Every structure is written in structure tokens, then in C-alpha cells.
């Protein structure tokens, strides 16, 4: 049986879900971001136990197809920005990419995402990009110019303006901070998670 799981955003999440479910006696036959396939069809008691295990580890079992689609959109964005998967062709904008990957018109997924999260897809993309900028700035290995290029900003000024608008400080000021406050990936975006 396939289970859809909210907040699985990284390889560590996959490992945690696998380990916890196997510890509870479930046979995991396939696992990917947001998706777990277990052997057999669990009854309601077993599903409640799985739901409890997931909730106890910061995940959520998704029963609603719309919520599952919104979670899938979040995962696609995280993969492209945070994990730099490179699945999105460079010339393609996010709206085209998301429509292609989901099989739905962008206007539909955009409306659904906003209705479910109280935030637009564009705002979510910006929040993910800013968090990636913060990560790279805290490592002090890349220049702001290199970061702008890697994340597809049109210019350093565009990145700097967007960064300041979201964080209240410039990238240079952030770089000079002793404590680089960052946000967990599963807490970025949809207001229900903040």
C-alpha cells in the first residue's frame, strides 16, 4: 500500500521514516520523498499506529489528494532549490516546470497552493531561495555574486533586495552575524507549519 507523507524533505527524513516504520514491524518496499510503500494493506488500527509514528517524528500521513498535491509541489521546489537536483531545465520557469511535473494547469495548482497554505507558490519559492542564500552565506565559501548565479537571480542587486525585504538585513550584514539563524526546511512556507 502506498502512503503519502507530509514534511519528508530530505534524505534524513527518508531514513527516519524507514527506520521508524521498520522498528514498528512494517515492511517498507519502496520509499521516496513524500511517499512510502509498505507491504500489505493495513487495517484502521495499523494505520492509526503508522499515523502516530509519523506524527511523533514531525511527519503527517496525508489522506487528502489536494493536500498531497500541495506537498508534492513543495517537494519539487525544495529539490530544485535546496538540493539542486537540476531536473528543471534552465530555460524553463517554475510555473511551466510545476505544471509539467504535476500534469495540471499552473492556474489550478497556483490557486490550490494558495488556498491550502495562505501563501502563493512564488512566495514559497522566494522563501526557499532566501533560506538557501542564508545557508551558503553562513558557510562563507561563495560570494554573493556566485550565489546569485547558482540560484538563477538576474543580478546581485535583485538577490540583495529580495534578501533584505525578507530578512530585514543585507546579505553582507547576515554574513557578518555570529549566529546565522536559519529555518528548518519543513518550516518554510505554508503558514500552517510556522
Q: Taking the CB of residue 70, how many other CB atoms lie within 10 A of it?
A: 24
Q: State the chain's maximal CA–CA distance in angstroms.
A: 55
C-alpha cell at 28: 517498507
Least confidently predicted of 39-53, 63-77, 78-92, 109-123? 78-92
Q: Mapping DSSP to helix (H, G, I), strand (E, B) and coil, where does residue 30 land?
A: strand
Domains and CATH numbers, the chain: 2-63 (3.30.70), 66-119 (no CATH), 123-187 (1.10.10.60)
Of residues 150 and 191, the one with the higher pLDDT is 150
C-alpha cell at 40: 500489505
Would you say the pTM of this structure is higher than 0.95?
Answer: no
CB 97 within 8 A of CB 76: yes
CB 81 within 8 A of CB 128: yes
Of residues 13 and 88, the one with the higher pLDDT is 13
DSSP state of 40: S
Strand order in the sheet with 60-62: 28-32, 35-38, 2-6, 60-62
Q: What is the pLDDT of residues 129-172, one digit of tens each?
A: 999 999 999 988 899 999 999 998 999 999 999 999 999 999 99
pLDDT band at 189 (very low <50, low <70, confident <90, very high): low
Could you tell me the sign of the dihedral formed by the alpha carbons of 116, 117, 123, 128, in that order?
negative
C-alpha cell at 65: 489528494
What pLDDT sits at residue 191? 45
Q: What is the dihedral of CA 51, 52, 56, 57, to 10 degrees?
A: -30
Q: What is the pLDDT of residues 58-102, one digit of tens each?
A: 998 887 788 889 989 999 999 999 888 777 887 889 999 999 999
Query: Mind giving me the DSSP string for 65-123?
Result: HHHHHHHHHHHHHHHHHTS----S-TTS-HHHHHHHHHTS-HHHHHHHHHHHHSS-HHH
What pLDDT sits at residue 166? 92
Report whether pLDDT(19) > 80. Answer: yes
Q: Mapping DSSP to helix (H, G, I), strand (E, B) and coil, where does residue 138 land?
A: helix
What pLDDT sits at residue 193? 40
Amino acid at each position: 500500500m502506498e502512503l503519502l507523507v507530509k514534511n519528508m524533505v530530505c534524505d534524513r527524513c527518508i531514513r527516519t521514516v524507514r527506520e521508524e516504520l521498520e522498528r514498528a514491524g512494517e515492511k517498507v518496499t519502496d520509499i521516496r520523498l513524500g511517499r512510502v510503500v509498505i507491504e500489505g494493506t493495513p487495517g484502521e488500527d495499523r494505520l492509526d499506529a503508522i499515523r502516530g509514528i509519523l506524527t511523533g517524528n514531525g511527519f503527517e500521513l496525508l489522506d487528502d489528494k489536494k493536500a498531497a498535491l500541495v506537498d508534492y509541489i513543495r517537494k519539487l521546489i525544495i529539490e530544485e532549490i535546496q538540493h539542486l537536483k537540476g531536473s528543471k531545465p534552465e530555460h524553463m520557469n517554475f510555473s511551466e516546470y510545476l505544471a509539467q511535473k504535476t500534469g495540471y494547469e499552473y492556474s489550478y495548482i497556483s490557486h490550490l497552493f494558495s488556498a491550502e497554505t495562505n501563501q502563493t507558490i512564488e512566495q514559497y519559492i522566494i522563501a526557499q531561495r532566501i533560506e538557501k542564500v542564508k545557508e551558503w552565506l553562513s558557510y562563507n565559501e561563495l560570494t554573493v555574486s556566485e550565489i546569485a548565479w547558482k540560484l538563477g537571480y538576474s543580478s546581485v542587486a535583485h538577490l540583495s533586495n529580495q534578501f533584505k525585504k525578507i530578512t530585514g538585513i543585507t546579505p553582507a550584514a547576515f554574513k557578518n552575524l555570529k549566529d546565522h539563524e536559519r529555518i528548518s526546511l519543513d518550516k518554510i512556507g505554508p503558514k500552517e507549519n510556522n
